[in-house]
Structure 1
Amino acid sequence: MTQTGRVTLVGVLKRALDVTWYLLWAALVVVSATMVLVIVGFIMKFVGASVLETVLARLDAAEILSFPLFVAEIVTLLVLVDRLRRMFATLIAGDPFVPENAGHLRVIAFAVAIYQAVGYVARAMVALSLTLFDLPVARGAEIEATLNINLGAWFAVVALMVLSEVFREGARMRQEQKLTI
């Protein structure tokens, strides 16, 4: 919102990022707590106590192995949303061409790349666990042994890296211009 009370696209996007930020934290807490319960359940199962055995019986190996990957994906998304929030804060303040935004763009590019890599690992682990543990595939679906590369996401990584360099150079030139009489 501006001083006149007018709703801007930047303000709406900033609020959406804030809501997403808190929803991601809630998801991280739920997934982490579930992962801890599963680990405690396995330890209790090996010790001989079977309190969580009914919960563990409902989970298959693919779901159990994917909990750490869910945590990695959520943390990566938290980093991405945090950096976007910081960039929007400078935009709302009226000075988006600051040197910090170049670093934010670079971190966002790495976060998108890590998110894509974690997705590849997750799909590979699910397929591997279904194969190793000889588990049936849900609802008769077939698993393809192909690597589906999302070219759009990798193009975005490259574009964000280029934009981060443009921001860095623009901020440097702006600083030089401020020092020039």
Structure 2
Amino acid sequence: MRVPKTPALGFRLPTLRTPPLPGLGAGSMTRLLGVALRVAFWVLALATLAAILAFIFLAFVPLGSMDLTVTAGDGGTRVPVPRAYLLFGLGAFVAYLGGFALILLHLRAIVYSLRIGDPFQPANVSRLKQIGLTLATVTGGAWVGQTLVSRLVRGALEPPGLFDLATPAFSVLVVFVLAEVFREGARLRRESELTI
């Protein structure tokens, strides 16, 4: 049964489509994202290298004693900082920067697979799981480091609470959920290739 066509009422509703931005096609956003990730990766890699060189310098070059002054309302607290504390802090900073550089390296590989039109690869599942584990390790390490620093200066700096871990823990969960989504997508793609 055919539905009769109604006559036009003389006005047209505006469309909700927005014109594309000049120069940004379908693949341009992934290209732009790939460039941004590449730049961020190299900045973090160079910063990690500089921190490693500073760690080596601090480990082998003799320096005098250092004091850390934590300012508060009463004029500040002077805390002597042994060389081992400085090495530990610089090593933690190297691990922090290196962890985020590793995350960016995996993200670059995922964006590249998106650019070539094959994002549901089994390798992307393991990349996302490694991103989640690295993010959890970096977040937990930063929390432990902040707790240790707050104990070092004794009362001049508040220790982080468990609530400070809520947002990073949620981010880690999101990454693991995305890994499972990619795993299911890879499985469905494999099944469709076998049926054809």
TM-score of Structure 1 vs Structure 2, range by shorter chain: 0.7 to 0.9
Counterpart CA distance in 2 for 1:5 and 1:158 is 32
Identify the structure with the greater helix proportion.
Answer: 1
**Aligned residue pair count:** 158
The equivalent position to 2:159 in structure 1, one of 134, 145, 148, is: 145
Which consecutive unaligned segments of at least 5 residues does structure 1 have?
A: 45-51, 132-136
1:93-149 residue CA offsets vs partner (Å, 9 max, x unmatched): 111111111111111111111111111122122223334xxxxx9xxxx31134252
Instruction: From the superposition, tell whether residues 63 and 130 of structure 1 become closer, same or farther in structure 2 (CA, over 3 Å).
Output: farther
The equivalent position to 2:173 in structure 1, one of 158, 170, 175, is: 158
Where in structure 1 do 4 or more consecutive aligned residues deviate above 3 Å? Answer: 4-7, 56-65
SS of structure 2 residue aligned to 1:150? helix
Instruction: From the superposition, tell whether residues 128 and 39 of structure 1 become closer, same or farther in structure 2 (CA, over 3 Å).
Output: farther
The equivalent position to 2:97 in structure 1, one of 66, 74, 80, is: 74
Alignment partner of 1:39 is 2:54: no
Which residue in the other structure is 2:5 paired with?
Answer: none
Identical counterparts, % of pairs: 27
Which residue in the other structure is 1:9 paired with?
Answer: 29
Which structure has more RCO (C-alpha within 8 Å, separation ≥ 6)?
1
Structure 1, 121-130 or 107-116: larger mean CA deviation: 121-130
Counterpart CA distance in 2 for 1:102 and 1:85 is 14
1:51-100 residue CA offsets vs partner (Å, 9 max, x unmatched): x44xx647744654310100110111111001000000101111111111
The one-letter code matched in structure 2 to 1:37 is F
Which structure has the larger Rg over C-alpha atoms? 2
Contact 2:146 2:159 in 1 (8 A): no
Which residue in the other structure is 1:25 paired with?
Answer: 45
Identify the structure with the greater strand proportion.
Answer: 2
The equivalent position to 1:130 in structure 2, one of 137, 153, 171, is: 153
Which consecutive unaligned segments of at least 5 residues does structure 2 have?
A: 1-22, 69-80
